[in-house]
Chains A and B, each alone.
Chain A
Amino acid sequence: MPQPFRLNVNGAEHTVTAEGDTPLLYVLRNDLGLNAPKFGCGLGQCGACTALLNGAAIRTCLFPVSGVGNASVVTLEGLGTIEKPHALQRAFIAEQAAQCGYCINGMIMTAKAFLDHNPHPTAAAIRQALAENLCRCGTHVRIVRAVQRAANGT
Chain B
Amino acid sequence: MCGSFVRCSALRTGPDVNPHSGTLPSPRDYSRREFCQAAVGVVVFFSMNPGPFLGHVAPGQLPLDLETNKRLDSWLRINPDGTVEVFTGKVEYGQGAITALAQIAADELDVNFERIRMRPADTSHSPDESYTAGSASIEVGGGALRYAAADARATLLEMAAAKMRAPTGSLTVDDGVITTSAAAGRVTYWELASKGLLARDVRSGIPLKPNSSRHIVGTSVPRLDIPAKVTGGEAYVQDMRLPGMLFGRVVRPPSYGAQLTAFDDVSAKAMPGVVTVVRNGRFLGVVARREEQAIAARAALQRAAVWTMPTELPDEASIAAFFRNSADAQVTTVSSRSPSVTAPMAVRTLRATYSKPYLAHASIGPSCAIAAVEDGVLTIWSHTQGAYPLRTDIAVVMGLPLGKVRIVHAQGSGCYGHNGADDVALDAALLSRAAGGAPVKVQWMRDDEFAWEPFGGAMSIDVQASVAADGSITDWQYDVWSNSFNMRPGQRGGVNLLAAWHLAQPFQHSPPREIPLPSGGADRNAVPYYDFPSQRITEHFLPTMPVRVSAHRSLGAFGNVFAVESFMDELAHSAGADPVEFRLRHLTDDRAKAVIRSVADRAKWRSGAKGDGARGRGIAFLRYESTKTYVAVIADIVVDRESNAIRVERITAAADSGLIITPDGISNQLEGAIIQGASWALKERVRFDRQRVTSRDWNSYPILTFSELPEIDIVLLNRPDLPPLGAGEAALPPVPAAIANAFFHATGRRLRDLPFDRDRVKAALA
Chain A: residues with CB nearer than 8 A to chain B? Answer: 2, 18-19, 22-23, 26, 29-30, 33-36, 38-43, 45-46, 48, 75-77, 80-85, 89-90, 92-96, 98-105, 108, 126-128, 130-145, 149, 154
The answer to whether A19 and B292 touch across the interface, beta carbons within 8 angstroms, is: yes
Stretch at the interface among B400-408, B579-587, B601-609, B673-681: B673-681
Q: How far is the CA of A43 from the CA of B449 in the complex (A)?
A: 14
Chain B: residues with CB nearer than 8 A to chain A? Answer: 25-30, 34-35, 37-38, 93-96, 220, 222-223, 225-236, 238-239, 241, 247, 272, 290-292, 295, 362-366, 411-414, 416, 443, 445-446, 664, 668-669, 671-676, 679, 697-699, 703-707, 709, 711-712
Q: Which residue of A lies closest to B31 (CB)?
A: A94
The answer to whether B234 and A102 touch across the interface, beta carbons within 8 angstroms, is: no
The answer to whether B292 and A26 touch across the interface, beta carbons within 8 angstroms, is: yes
Besides A18-B292, A29-B291, 18 other CB < 8 A contacts?
A19-B272, A26-B291, A75-B232, A80-B231, A82-B26, A82-B233, A85-B227, A85-B231, A89-B230, A90-B29, A94-B30, A94-B37, A99-B668, A100-B413, A102-B364, A138-B679, A139-B675, A141-B709
The answer to whether B235 and A101 touch across the interface, beta carbons within 8 angstroms, is: yes
- Contact (A98, B226) CB under 8 Å given A39-B443, A134-B705: yes
- Contact (A85, B29) CB under 8 Å given A98-B230, A102-B236, A138-B673: yes
Expressed in whole angstroms, the minimum distance between the Cβ of B250 and any Cβ of chain A is 15
- Contact (A77, B362) CB under 8 Å given A39-B443, A102-B236: no
Using Cβ atoms and an 8 Å threshold, which residues of chain A touch B232? 34-36, 75-77, 105
The answer to whether B365 and A99 touch across the interface, beta carbons within 8 angstroms, is: no
The answer to whether B699 and A154 touch across the interface, beta carbons within 8 angstroms, is: no
- Offer 20 A-B interface pairs, CB within 8 angstroms, sorted by A: A18-B290, A18-B292, A19-B272, A35-B238, A36-B231, A38-B238, A41-B446, A45-B699, A76-B231, A82-B25, A82-B29, A85-B227, A89-B230, A94-B35, A96-B668, A127-B709, A132-B705, A137-B676, A139-B671, A139-B672
Contact of A48 among B230, B231, B364, B414 (CB under 8 A): B364
The answer to whether A96 and B697 touch across the interface, beta carbons within 8 angstroms, is: no
The answer to whether A96 and B94 touch across the interface, beta carbons within 8 angstroms, is: no
Total cross-chain contacts (CB, 8 A): 201
- Contact (A98, B229) CB under 8 Å given A46-B698, A135-B364, A137-B94: yes
The answer to whether B671 and A142 touch across the interface, beta carbons within 8 angstroms, is: yes
The answer to whether A82 and B664 touch across the interface, beta carbons within 8 angstroms, is: no
The answer to whether B231 and A40 touch across the interface, beta carbons within 8 angstroms, is: no
The answer to whether B29 and A103 touch across the interface, beta carbons within 8 angstroms, is: no
The answer to whether B675 and A138 touch across the interface, beta carbons within 8 angstroms, is: yes
The answer to whether B93 and A127 touch across the interface, beta carbons within 8 angstroms, is: no
The answer to whether B706 and A99 touch across the interface, beta carbons within 8 angstroms, is: no
Expressed in whole angstroms, the minimum distance between the Cβ of B29 and any Cβ of chain A is 6
The answer to whether B414 and A39 touch across the interface, beta carbons within 8 angstroms, is: no
Q: How far is the CA of A89 from the CA of B446 in the complex (A)?
A: 28
The answer to whether B30 and A90 touch across the interface, beta carbons within 8 angstroms, is: yes
- Contact (A2, B272) CB under 8 Å given A39-B443, A43-B446: yes
Closest 7 CB pairs of A and B: A100-B94, A138-B675, A101-B229, A100-B414, A36-B232, A138-B672, A99-B94
Using Cβ atoms and an 8 Å threshold, which residues of chain A touch B698? 41, 43, 45-46, 134
The answer to whether A141 and B675 touch across the interface, beta carbons within 8 angstroms, is: yes
Residue from B94, B228, B238 with most neighbouring chain A CB atoms (10 Å): B94
The answer to whether B706 and A144 touch across the interface, beta carbons within 8 angstroms, is: yes
The answer to whether A134 and B364 touch across the interface, beta carbons within 8 angstroms, is: yes
The answer to whether B414 and A136 touch across the interface, beta carbons within 8 angstroms, is: yes
Using Cβ atoms and an 8 Å threshold, which residues of chain A touch B411? 100
The answer to whether A131 and B238 touch across the interface, beta carbons within 8 angstroms, is: no
The answer to whether B703 and A101 touch across the interface, beta carbons within 8 angstroms, is: no
Q: Which residue of A lies closest to B732 (CB)?
A: A138
